[in-house]
Amino acid sequence: MDQQQQQSAIQGAKVLMVGAGGIGCELLKTLALSGFHDIHIIDMDTIEVSNLNRQFLFRRSHVGQSKAKVARDAVLRFRPHINIRSYHANVKNPEFDVDFFKQFDVVLNGLDNLDARRHVNRLCLAADVPLVESGTTGFLGQVTVHVKGKTECYECQTKPTPKTYPVCTITSTPTKFVHCIVWAKELLFAKLFGDKNQDNDLNVRANKAASASKETEDVFERAEDEDIEQYSRKIYDHVFGYNIEAALSNEETWKNRRRPRPIYSKDVLPESLTQKNGSTQNCSAASDDDSATVSAMPLLGLKNPQELWGLTQNSLVFIEALKLFFAKRKKEIGHLTFDKDDQLAVEFVTAAANIRAESFGIPLHSLFEAKGIAGNIVHAVATTNAIVAGLIVIEAIKVLKKDADKYRMTYCLEHPSRKMLLMPVEPFEPNPSCYVCSKTPLVLEINTQKSKLRDLVDKIVKAKLGMNLPLIMHGASLLYEVGDDLDDIMVANYNANLEKSLSELPSPVINGSILTVEDLQQELSCKINVKHREEFDEEKEPEGMVLSGWTQSPATNGESASTSNNESAVDVTESSSGPEIASKKRKLSETQPENHKRETENVESEDDDDLVEIENPMTVSKKKRVA
């Protein structure tokens, strides 16, 4: 009888899948083979060549096509009588509102980013539809069940955010290879090939060099008749030579630090590279139409991406890559951003990072390693995706049977723990201090006289609370709203409010004020109690405001994640050292084995498909663990 009830529940269920990537392909296949008859899939991505090694519903002929549509067509070939509807769209689009979600019996997530996960979580709460969340990182994986009022929601536990490093560390005092990667990717690559008008610290030049060269602001500009090799060497000497000399002129900085070594092209490279390596203009590494595969490595006889290049090889790659950008991809210059799938960009960033690392006495890395760091890559494992997809279906069936006592959070481990590779754990209760599912008021400490409404919207409402279409009210006064149905006068008024300090708004926000912040699309509303505060620690509180009730994960490895108030910061993703303790009712154990560390939400898998917040199952209270 139980088997008949289960089969009836499966066949009569209407299921929404969000994501058709590594997990999604395995999940759709498993759902179809398990007897599900009505499946809807949302995915905004198209298929790339790099997907084909583990997303087995796709073939090379599908490259460039919608993942959701191709996955649907592939499964219908062996299950032609079931209903599968695909949506090539962003799950945050307005048509996927609460009413859309209400039509489903369960929602299954296979998403790749924190923002979309939070959005789906809120819609599921508003629609009162159970959510099964999942993710993988290499050999690690997890599946969690979120049912309104019975288990914690996805946001009951704080999620680690990308680590940020002060720009002064990146530009002046790097100590890790990741600092060199960020410098090469976010500053140098962006300055050379991105928006030329952006400000950064790369134009600094030593005083001695300044008198014998062009104006500082012109150093990255290439004259029409300037020889490409001469220009490439000029850039090389500027960033690896003159800028290092400028940094060394500040003796105070190097009292307790290792002094870097200026590196000039004449000390590393022959006078002319053209005769040695051939003309870049005549190279046939790739056609202009295949710009993503243009490569400097074949020109230099370099074949193995896992080979460790020395200073000379890195310098040659740097010069040749820069020359190739101007010879083969000149039309793109000024609009480029770093892409880990752009071979030439990866070569350039690897070489630049290694030359800088050599200057600062930091160990060099291979192109393969550098690409992983630059793209925040954890290489995906197809087997893990398949295991996690199976676990999702198991939990979905429990949800459909309303078998709440058997819900489990299941962790997929890389190494056996207590002779288990799959660790099931009872779900946590809802966190009473969660502002999403428990409606607990937040407290915002802010200087109401100096901080503008724009600061509140950008830094708190959007960045921290994850609201896409926010509405902000103070009492009966509407201070800010976003929407397509606003007339020009309303838009102008709200834009004017953005530039006013909180205390200057039509309904002044001062100490003791209570703000109501809503997102009508997510049907989420929360209260923010405002507490005026005059001063903030520039080092520890760089945003000039502190939100309580929403706390980002602390910096790890002893590295400060803050920046000073007068400089920007650069995001870097690294693994966090452990989960936070959310409340006494959801107590986690005091200890944590070194080999089961929690990974961050923002670690990318091989190509943006399968991301996960891996919690350490060994930190869960023994009372919560299933034997």
- Does the annotation place 405 within a ligand binding site? no
The pLDDT value recorded for residue 501 is 94
- Does the annotation place 24 within a ligand binding site? yes
- Does the annotation place 243 within a ligand binding site? no
The whole-angstrom separation of Cα 548 and Cα 328 is: 51
Contact 280, 323 (CB under 8 A): yes
The pLDDT value recorded for residue 373 is 86
Beta bridge partners of 131: 107, 146
Active site residue 168: yes
According to CATH, the topology of domain 3-161+379-425 is Rossmann fold (3.40.50)
Q: Which of 25, 168, 412, 526 is catalytic?
A: 168
- Does the annotation place 515 within a ligand binding site? no
- Does the annotation place 283 within a ligand binding site? no
The pLDDT value recorded for residue 199 is 60
Q: H-type helices in 476-540, by residue range? A: 488-498
The whole-angstrom separation of Cα 561 and Cα 579 is: 17
Sorted by sequence, the CB contacts under 8 Å of residue 118 that are 6+ apart come out as 154, 155, 466
The whole-angstrom separation of Cα 67 and Cα 88 is: 8
Virtual CA dihedral for 415, 19, 395, 468, nearest 10 degrees? 110
Amino acid at 265: S
- Does the annotation place 114 within a ligand binding site? yes
- Does the annotation place 153 within a ligand binding site? yes
The pTM (predicted TM-score) of the whole model is 0.68
Longest dimension (CA), the chain: 89
Q: Where are the domains of the chain?
A: 3-161+379-425, 167-271+294-375, 442-548
Contact 116, 110 (CB under 8 A): no
- Does the annotation place 43 within a ligand binding site? yes
- The CATH architecture annotation of domain 442-548 reads Roll (3.10)
- Does the annotation place 127 within a ligand binding site? no
The pLDDT value recorded for residue 165 is 63
The CATH H-level (homologous superfamily) assignment of domain 167-271+294-375 is Ubiquitin activating enzymes (Uba3). Chain: B, domain 2 (1.10.10.520)
Hey, is 211 helix, strand or coil? Answer: coil
Characterize 477-513 residue by residue with b for buried, 16 or more Cβ atoms within 10 angstroms of its Cβ, and e for exposed: ebbbbbeeeeeeeeeebbeebbebbbbebeeebeeeb
- Does the annotation place 54 within a ligand binding site? yes
DSSP string computed for 67-87:
HHHHHHHHHHTT-TTSEEEEE
Sorted by sequence, the CB contacts under 8 Å of residue 176 that are 6+ apart come out as 362
The pLDDT value recorded for residue 203 is 56
The pLDDT value recorded for residue 324 is 93
- Does the annotation place 113 within a ligand binding site? yes
Residues 30-79 pLDDT 10s: 999 999 999 999 999 888 877 888 899 999 999 889 999 999 999 999 99
The pLDDT value recorded for residue 615 is 54
Stretches in the chain below the pLDDT threshold 70: 1, 160-167, 196-218, 272-293, 377, 550-627
The count of C-alpha atoms lying within 13 angstroms of the C-alpha of 116, restricted to the half-sphere facing its C-beta, is 24
